[in-house]
Structure 1
């Protein structure tokens, strides 16, 4: 439940229904990327400019649809009325006759606040700054290792459409669906925070499994060696996307702000995976780089789990 001074956003989903709804939202996001095939378009090459533009349209439309679907299961009510009638969340099975209607729910700010959308500038700034600070600690090792490569050289030849996809549309759409929508539904439907933080990144990681289809269709996959290579590549991607998804879910659960995970996602995409060139340990610099990795990671984890949600609720 999320509330402001006047109203309360009451989710009337059982845990099972919430889990089913979240799975459907995740599956249909991926399906929207391939729906263009029904019109005869080529959809397998994710780096084709036409495919990229089609997917922009798909994810934007789906991002607009998701809150409309969720609003069907949310009722904006007067919390005093609920307490006076003795109604508690666990007993709500049907829409309350005293609540606002579906359109009113969509127009209510408390509903959007339950999805992490806030008009409070101070809250937004604080959440984003915390996200940036944590991310810089997470990538402290790679930045010490070679900050010029990380910040300048690795993306200097990246096509504009790829930049928009990787640093703007992709992070915004995925965080909106998997954190703001899916994680919010789980957090407000009877699941504890730990379970919600686990389920959201699992769905996020699995949603990248469709990349196997792209890689399979663009190489000579008939050879067993290539199939094994593709599988390991996708498995690696599922692993690091799930890990990131867990971090983003924690950030969202603690800040309840939509901008914080989006900024973190965009920064992670920009930084890319660490190169770990120091693992050779051939010079003193390699040991220093290793120490920077360890320091950054442990500092990041310590501060991440030390975040107190109450510091954001009072902003």
Structure 2
């Protein structure tokens, strides 16, 4: 699987083959979280370290499936690219891919960013706080999972490996909305752990799971859009890390602000949403990223 090997995406004989391949990747990713047993909570440092190792291994092996379903191609064919290119690992347009999608995402989060406090930054990114914080194993593993391993492995498996399997069988639009379903469903496994703990009522657990499925699917669609528009995986990874840091917008907190601040933050929410919609396609113009892998 050398980097200079030219391949074409597999010939799509049916939607089933494409969907089933993505299903296998999803099962492998989620299944790897449970190979270590269930004697410790998911947020225990030991559990986090083991699960990080598991999903890293899955993310390293997943491209093999993509390669197995591709075909060797004549390098003179304009539609052929290296496997790395299909995975979004390219040098052309890399600087734009690093910064512009993040800037676009920050525009969407203009309102939440205006609510951010220094304490929030220190809690989420210990590197900005005291060096002694890094000695806390819980902080170390939480940071590793949420801001490094999680975004990296999820984007590799659920975007870089799945979208090349889907796009030969359907339009980009369909692939963008179907791919996140695997990503959203993959988060449902948290229900099992929370039900086993018995700390919350099942109805609350399922409501939370449905809510999480909804917003992770929306983010997954956005991430898939960024991947196909830019032809790079680095943009989705960085945006994923940023969104993990920001979390879901706390609309309820805005209502508790004094009238003037509430008005200002609300306006910033609206400006951010309108700006995001207006800039979505201009800031993801494929030519800016030298994207000839997934032509629009």
Which TM-score band applies after superposition, normalised by the shorter structure? 0.7 to 0.9
SS of the residue corresponding to residue 126 of structure 1 reads helix
1:313 paired residue number:
290
1:139 is matched with 109
- Determine which of 158, 177, 180 is the counterpart of 1:178: 158
Question: Using the alignment, how far apart are the partners of 1:218 and 1:169 within structure 2?
Answer: 25
| Displacement after TM superposition at 1:311 (Å) | 2.6
Distance 1:252 1:282 in 2: 40
Q: Distance in 1 between matches of 2:189 and 2:45?
A: 19
**Other structure's SS at 1:36 match:** coil
Matches of 1:140 and 1:109, distance apart in 2? 38
Structure 1 CA distance, aligned partners of 2:98 and 2:247? Answer: 20
Could you state the TM-score of these two structures normalised by the residue count of structure 2?
A: 0.85
Unaligned runs of 5+ in 2: 127-132
Partners in 2 of 1:290 and 1:313 — Cα distance? 37
* Aligned-residue offset at 1:175: 0.3
Could you tell me how far 1:216 is from its partner in structure 2?
1.1
Shift of 1:196: 0.6
1:63 equivalent in alignment to 2:39: no
Quote how far apart the aligned CAs of 1:59 are: 0.5
Match of 1:114 in 2: 86
Residues 87-130 of structure 1, C-alpha deviation per residue, up to 9 Å, x if partnerless? xx9xxxxxxxxxxxxxxxxxx97111011111x1x522110111
Q: Which residue of 2 aligns with 1:160?
A: 140
Structure 1: segments with no counterpart, 5+ residues: 84-88, 90-107
> Aligned-pair distance for 1:192?
0.6
For 1:155 and 1:272, the matched residues in 2 are separated by: 13
Q: Distance in 2 between matches of 1:48 and 1:267?
A: 23
In structure 2, C-alpha distance between the alignment counterparts of 1:46 and 1:153, rounded to whole Å:
20
Counterpart pick for 2:198 among 212, 219, 225: 219
Pick the structure with greater CA Rg: 1
**For the residues of structure 2 that align with 1:20 and 1:175, how far apart are their CA atoms?**
19
- Write the deviation string for residues 194-223 of structure 1: whole angstroms up to 9, x where unpaired: 0110011111011000001111122345xx
Provide the rounded CA distance (Å) in 2 between the counterparts of 1:177 and 1:269: 17
CA contact (8 A) 2:7 2:81 kept: no
Over the residues paired in the alignment, what is the CA RMSD in angstroms?
2.6
- For 2:266, the equivalent position in structure 1 comes to 290
1:157-306, aligned counterparts within 5 Å?
159-187=139-167, 189-220=168-199, 226-276=201-251, 277-280=253-256, 282-306=258-282
Per-residue CA distance 1:220-252 (angstroms, 9 max, x = gap) = 45xxxx111111111221111111111111110
- Cα distance between partner residues in 2 of 1:214 and 1:134: 35
User: In the alignment, what sits opposite 2:74?
Assistant: 78
After TM superposition, the structure 1 stretch with the greater mean CA deviation from structure 2, 211-220 or 250-259, is 211-220
Shift of 1:76: 2.7
CA distance in structure 2 between the aligned counterparts of 1:215 and 1:177, rounded to whole angstroms: 25
Q: How many residues of Structure 1 are paired with residues of Structure 2 in the alignment? A: 277
**2:29 aligned partner:** 29
2:6 touches 2:81 (CA, 8 Å); kept in 1?
no
- Where 1:217 maps in the other structure, the secondary structure is helix
> Aligned pair in 2 of structure 1 residues 20, 298: CA closer, same or farther (>3 Å)?
same
Equivalents in 2 of 1:314, 1:183: separation in Å? Answer: 15
**How far 1:69 sits from its partner (Å)?**
1.5
**Partner Cα separation in structure 2 for residue 250 and residue 209 of structure 1:** 23
Q: Note the alpha carbon deviations across 1:10-53, whole angstroms, 9 max, x for none.
A: 3233332111101111122101111223xxx526x211122111
Taking structure 1 as the reference length, the TM-score comes to: 0.80
